Amino acid sequence: MFEDLLQRLGLTDRNAGACGTSWIHAPGDDWLVAVNPATAEPLGQVAATPADAYERVIEDAQAAFLAWRNVPAPRRGEVIRRLGQALRECKRDLGLLVTLETGKIRAEGEGEVQEMIDMCDFAVGLSRQLYGLTIASERPEHRMMEQWHPLGPVGIITAFNFPVAVWSWNAALAAVCGDTMVWKPSPITPLTAVAVQHIANRVAAECDCPGVFNLCVGGTDPGERMIHDRRLPLISATGSCRLGTRVGEVVGRRLGRSLLELGGNNAIIVTPSANLDLALRATLFAAVGTAGQRCTSVRRLIVHESVAGELVDRLVAAYRTLPIGNPWEDGVLVGPLIHENAVVTMMRAIERAKEQGGDLIQGGKRLDRPGFFVEPALVRARPDMPVVGEETFAPILYVLTYRTLDEALALHNAVEQGLTSAIFTESLREAERFLSAEGSDCGIANVNIGTSGAEIGGAFGGEKASGGGREAGSDAWKAYMRRQTCTINRSDSLPLAQGIRFDATAP
């Protein structure tokens, strides 16, 4: 049905999954099958990267780094400008492939590619702004400065639910910072990764910079190889909190750097003064958009008891008319979950919520059709229910009520994760308190917009079990470079800092 699309993106039934300066085809490949979650039918196969292919990829990335680090940053920016242009040209096709492989609707699939383009634009500008500071020295005729150098080949591990955008958050920054990279995508979404690698390869060939963008498709292996590998000074890992714990431990043991973008358990607080129309629309997008499979999806709605009745009634009515269906069809807003296991996990979480005293007030059933479709669920819950503290990667929204803002903030911050958060209020005081040091403890805090759908210009990431990493905008680029503090003496004397005297004479 979509053969033409796959062909236009350079994909065949069976694709190599390892790429350094060229694609590596190994005999006896172990094949990963990409499945369309809306039909449960296979889309194509990609070879997992065996140990010897991994070695070749890393060697290519290392060798390319030696040249790439010396390319002036604005010229590196030109490569990323061309990458952005190539992505513009295939936005529809790549967006549709994202839809087919992840089940997210067309608008969101194309939105992901737009995010890649935005990241490229951002990085092009950044390539002329990798600023260091000049620092006043306490010593006469001395100058101090900070400069930023490329770090080395960077390991990028990504999750299934943003199969291309998260690569670009890392890749665009790493490339202008002078790093080469090795990408290990989710084994659930290998086709989009191969398609992106084809695009990156074309740009690298045009710009004569082979080995900057490299790929190692696979699961825990080659993932474990990467996190243990001292040749990768930075591992940027996006995924579950469990993944982050593992990456943090292993990379920490070798004193490498890790940049962790992990799970969330995000909440929206709705206060008595809130514009309920806005709160309703934002909650819907954040709760059921991407079928609840965003790290930024809202999982807890903390509503003031005076408005809870009205808001919940309106949510139930909206949930009842949600267009659920094939994500590539016009008008559909909710596609399938990613696989069978995700459906089972969602159903188990709903059962546990009921056992723990929750009340399923809407949805929560599997749809009787091929693929992995569910009805998004609304559950009236109590904060002490253990399941409310977990990130179930599915469209389950727990509704909690509160009386005072103190209570709402305590509930809000009571979970292990700290990714993103929002408050709906018309009260300046409430909004400012939410944004203050005693307010939301998350990496992202919004007022009168929902928890999901961040722009790339801000640094993206969360606190606590959400990992502490920051990617995309602001000064996130600094994670991809090494800082060097330099002191330059233009005098004939050698004064020491802190006034220390050390008058040894040379013979």
Interaction site with ligand NAD (CB under 6 A): 157-162, 166, 184, 186-187, 219-220, 223-224, 227, 238-240, 243, 246, 261-264, 295, 391, 393, 419
Nearer to ligand NAD, 89 or 249 (CB): 249
Question: Among 469, 476, 477, 342, which residue's Cα sits nearest to residue 418?
Answer: 469
Task: Give kind and range of the element (H or E) at residue 148.
Answer: strand 142-150
Full strand arrangement of the beta sheet holding 481-489: 134-135, 142-150, 481-489
**Cβ distance 314 to 321 under 8 Å?**
no
Nearer to ligand NAD, 264 or 325 (CB): 264
Nearer to ligand NAD, 68 or 480 (CB): 480
261 is a catalytic site residue: yes
Cβ-closest position to ligand NAD: 223
Strand partners, 259: 236
- Say if strands 213-216 and 181-184 run parallel, antiparallel, or are unpaired: parallel
Q: How far is the CB of 263 from ligand NAD (least distance, A)?
A: 3
Nearer to ligand NAD, 184 or 412 (CB): 184
295 is a catalytic site residue: yes
**How many of the other CB atoms lie within 10 Å of CB of 496?**
9
User: Can you list the alpha helix ranges (DSSP code H) found in 268-327?
Assistant: 276-288, 305-320
Nearer to ligand NAD, 161 or 271 (CB): 161
Nearer to ligand NAD, 166 or 200 (CB): 166
Residue 444's φ and ψ, nearest 5 degrees, are: -130, 130
**Cβ distance 431 to 405 under 8 Å?**
no
What is the spatial distance between Cα 182 and Cα 218, in angstroms, rounded to a whole number?
A: 12
- Out of 261, 390, 391, 471, the active site residue is 261
What is the spatial distance between Cα 334 and Cα 103, in angstroms, rounded to a whole number?
A: 9
The percent of the chain in helix, strand and coil, each rounded to the nearest 5, is: 40, 20, 40
Strand partners, 483: 148
- Out of 90, 295, 390, 391, the active site residue is 295
**Cβ distance 20 to 57 under 8 Å?**
yes
Nearer to ligand NAD, 113 or 280 (CB): 113
Q: How far is the CB of 404 from ligand NAD (least distance, A)?
A: 30
Q: How far is the CB of 304 from ligand NAD (least distance, A)?
A: 27
The Cα diameter of the chain in Å comes to 91
Distances 385 to 377, 379, 396, 403, 485 between C-alpha atoms, Å? 16, 12, 14, 19, 50
Q: How far is the CB of 495 from ligand NAD (least distance, A)?
A: 48
Task: Give kind and range of the element (H or E) at residue 23.
Answer: strand 23-24
Q: How far is the CB of 128 from ligand NAD (least distance, A)?
A: 27
**Cβ distance 355 to 386 under 8 Å?**
no
As given in the structure block, the two tokens for residue 45 are 């196969």
What is the spatial distance between Cα 10 and Cα 199, in angstroms, rounded to a whole number?
A: 9
**Cβ distance 394 to 345 under 8 Å?**
yes
Rg (CA), the chain: 25
**φ/ψ bin of 36: left (φ > 0), alpha (ψ from -120 to 50), beta (otherwise):** beta
Nearer to ligand NAD, 280 or 377 (CB): 377
Nearer to ligand NAD, 157 or 194 (CB): 157
- Count CA atoms closer than 13 A to 379's CA, side-chain side: 31
Q: How far is the CB of 235 from ligand NAD (least distance, A)?
A: 8
Q: How far is the CB of 491 from ligand NAD (least distance, A)?
A: 49
What is the spatial distance between Cα 201 and Cα 218, in angstroms, rounded to a whole number?
A: 19
Enzyme catalytic residues: 261, 295
